[in-house]
């Protein structure tokens, strides 16, 4: 049977990781893997998490299943994080939440529920977007289209083009949005743009589907939920998927949630039952440990305060590293203007250099990044930032592009190819051989 399986193309990021590990150079630098790292290059366990884990282990007296919808305390805590304690959607009982195995599990549950609600529904995904959005939603049974999002020439959201495309969408169609810290470009919507987008969804009858994987890592917990809270207060139906991988460092615990805002409390009960039924058919029961940690932290005032402080330190570090890198590059008088990096948010940005230049940084300077030039800002530290800046500056002096369009063309093509290869690999893995 298994002999019918076909080889799959390598994962773009895993391929870079393999090259990095094989490099014997002691000064090599990894800017590819999308996890938070501290100044020592570690992905730390937060002190608040360790304290919560200790308390849980001491008190736990069973390993039986949790409910299909997950930990009730976790779900309630997530709702408050997303919408705020007194949000009108919460007070009206319009929100249903299920715990999921990570944000990816939340995307899958939400995608399947949306497809069940409206078979063949179209979802619009930003271009660019996180590559795994495409196979996850396609496998849910949704039809996919894209809308322009990032202006590679000006390094900012191309909002006019985005609105122009979505203004042609039909009522009941779905718009996938990044709540904050856009992955991969780091360019986020302003409050004014969120307002305009909400008005458009009202006018066209569109359903927002918000991926909020990085809440707290841009401007703050409340600030980063601005778009989700605005839309939930104005629109009858909103879907929000959230993750605790990044803001609590619980990557391997797989802790996420799918929250559904419905038009009424009665509709929310119907959604809750169907979301649990979808989850049952995908993975049966969610894991316990990670959600128990989050619930304990969110419901213990002292631990919650400690976590908020740790999250603030992570956020300030990322934003500080952005400014530091820009300052270092500016001081070296590089031919390209990198100031946009300081204004973006989260862990990712495109450097805006060509694939050939990325390869040269890897082969000559032992600096590893995805060939689209997407870098993980958290991979920078005070010990390697000068090395990175020197390498980029030397690359620019010795191998500068003929013009800006060359950079833009290379960047857009590189990232689209990465997305296509990741999607193709996932489709093949589940039998979509004609994709």
d(CA 426, CA 432): 8
Task: Tell me what pLDDT residue 13 has.
Answer: 77
User: Is 323 an active-site residue?
Assistant: no
Say which residues have a Cβ less than 8 Å from residue 308's Cβ, sequence separation at least 6: 221
In the chain, domain spans: 10-45+304-421, 64-302
- Per annotation, catalytic residue among 138, 188, 224, 246: 246
**CATH code for the domain defined by 10-45+304-421:** 3.90.1150.10
289: pLDDT strictly greater than 50: yes
Task: Tell me what pLDDT residue 397 has.
Answer: 43
> Is residue 356 a contact partner of residue 341, using CB atoms and an 8 Å limit?
no
d(CA 17, CA 31): 10
pLDDT digits (tens, 9 = 90+) for 42-56: 999 999 999 999 999
99: left (phi over 0), alpha (psi -120 to 50) or beta: beta
| Residue (of 192, 233, 229) closest to 210 by Cα position | 229
User: Is 130 an active-site residue?
Assistant: yes
pLDDT digits (tens, 9 = 90+) for 343-361: 999 999 999 998 999 999 9
Rg (CA), the chain: 22
Mode of pairing for the β-strands spanning 150-151 and 156-157: antiparallel
| Residue (of 370, 391, 221) closest to 307 by Cα position | 221
d(CA 68, CA 100): 9
pLDDT digits (tens, 9 = 90+) for 358-371: 999 999 999 999 98
d(CA 111, CA 135): 11
More confident residue, 14 or 434: 14
| Residue (of 142, 95, 100) closest to 237 by Cα position | 95
Q: Mean per-residue pLDDT for 144-158?
A: 95
d(CA 113, CA 414): 33
187: pLDDT strictly greater than 80: yes
Q: Tell me the sheet residues that pair with 125.
A: 146
d(CA 281, CA 257): 16
- Per annotation, catalytic residue among 127, 158, 211, 224: 211
- The class that CATH gives domain 64-302 is alpha beta
- Per annotation, catalytic residue among 130, 158, 188, 194: 130
Task: Tell me what pLDDT residue 193 has.
Answer: 98
Q: Mean per-residue pLDDT for 15-42?
A: 92
pTM, full prediction = 0.89
Say which residues have a Cβ less than 8 Å from residue 13's Cβ, sequence separation at least 6: 32, 33, 34, 370
d(CA 137, CA 12): 20
User: Is 246 an active-site residue?
Assistant: yes
pLDDT digits (tens, 9 = 90+) for 218-258: 999 999 999 999 999 999 999 999 999 999 999 999 999 99
Task: Tell me what pLDDT residue 426 has.
Answer: 41
Neighbours of 86 (CB within 10 A): 8
Task: Tell me what pLDDT residue 16 has.
Answer: 87
> Is residue 105 a contact partner of residue 275, using CB atoms and an 8 Å limit?
no
Neighbours of 225 (CB within 10 A): 24
Q: Mean per-residue pLDDT for 18-35?
A: 92
Share of the chain above pLDDT 90, in %: 84
CA dihedral 141, 144, 149, 153 (to 10 degrees): 130
């Amino acid at each position: 049977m298994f002999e019918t399986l076909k080889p799959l193309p390598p994962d773009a990021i895993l391929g870079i990781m393999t090259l990095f590990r094989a490099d014997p150079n002691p000064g090599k630098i990894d800017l590819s893997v999308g996890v938070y790292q501290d100044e020592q290059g570690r992905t730390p366990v937060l002190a608040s998490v360790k304290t919560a884990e200790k308390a849980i282990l001491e008190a736990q007296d069973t390993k039986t299943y949790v409910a299909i919808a997950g930990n009730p305390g976790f779900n309630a805590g997530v709702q408050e994080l997303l919408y705020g304690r007194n949000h009108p959607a919460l007070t009206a009982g319009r929100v249903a939440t299920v715990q999921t195995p990570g944000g990816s599990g939340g995307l899958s549950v939400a995608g399947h529920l949306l497809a069940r609600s409206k078979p063949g529904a179209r979802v619009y995904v930003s271009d660019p977007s996180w590559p795994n959005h495409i196979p996850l939603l396609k496998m849910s049974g949704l039809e996919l289209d894209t809308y322009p999002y990032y202006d590679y020439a000006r390094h900012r959201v191309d909002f006019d083009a985005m609105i122009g495309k979505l203004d042609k969408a039909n009522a009941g169609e779905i718009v996938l949005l990044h709540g904050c810290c856009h992955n991969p470009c780091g360019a986020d919507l302003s409050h004014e743009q969120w307002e305009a987008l909400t008005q458009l969804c009202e006018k066209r009858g569109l359903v927002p589907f918000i991926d909020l994987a990085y809440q707290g890592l841009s401007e703050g917990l409340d600030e980063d939920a601005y778009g989700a809270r605005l839309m939930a207060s104005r629109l009858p139906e909103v879907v929000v998927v959230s993750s605790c991988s990044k803001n609590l460092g619980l990557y391997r615990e797989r802790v996420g949630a799918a929250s559904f805002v419905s038009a009424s409390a009665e509709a929310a009960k119907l959604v809750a039952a169907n979301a649990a039924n979808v989850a049952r058919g995908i993975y049966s029961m969610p894991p316990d440990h990670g959600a128990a940690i989050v619930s304990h932290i969110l419901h213990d005032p002292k631990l919650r305060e400690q976590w908020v402080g740790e999250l603030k330190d992570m956020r300030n570090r990322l934003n500080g590293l952005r400014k530091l890198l820009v300052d270092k590059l500016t001081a070296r008088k590089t031919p390209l203007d990198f100031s946009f990096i300081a204004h973006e948010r989260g862990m990712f940005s495109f450097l805006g250099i060509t694939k050939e230049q990325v390869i040269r940084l890897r082969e000559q300077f032992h600096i590893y990044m995805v060939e689209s030039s997407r870098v993980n800002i958290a991979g920078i530290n005070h010990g390697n930032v000068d090395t990175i800046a020197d390498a980029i500056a030397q690359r620019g002096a010795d191998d500068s592009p003929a013009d800006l369009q060359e950079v833009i063309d290379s960047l857009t093509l590189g990232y689209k190819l990465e997305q296509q290869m990741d999607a193709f690999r996932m489709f093949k893995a589940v039998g979509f051989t004609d994709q």
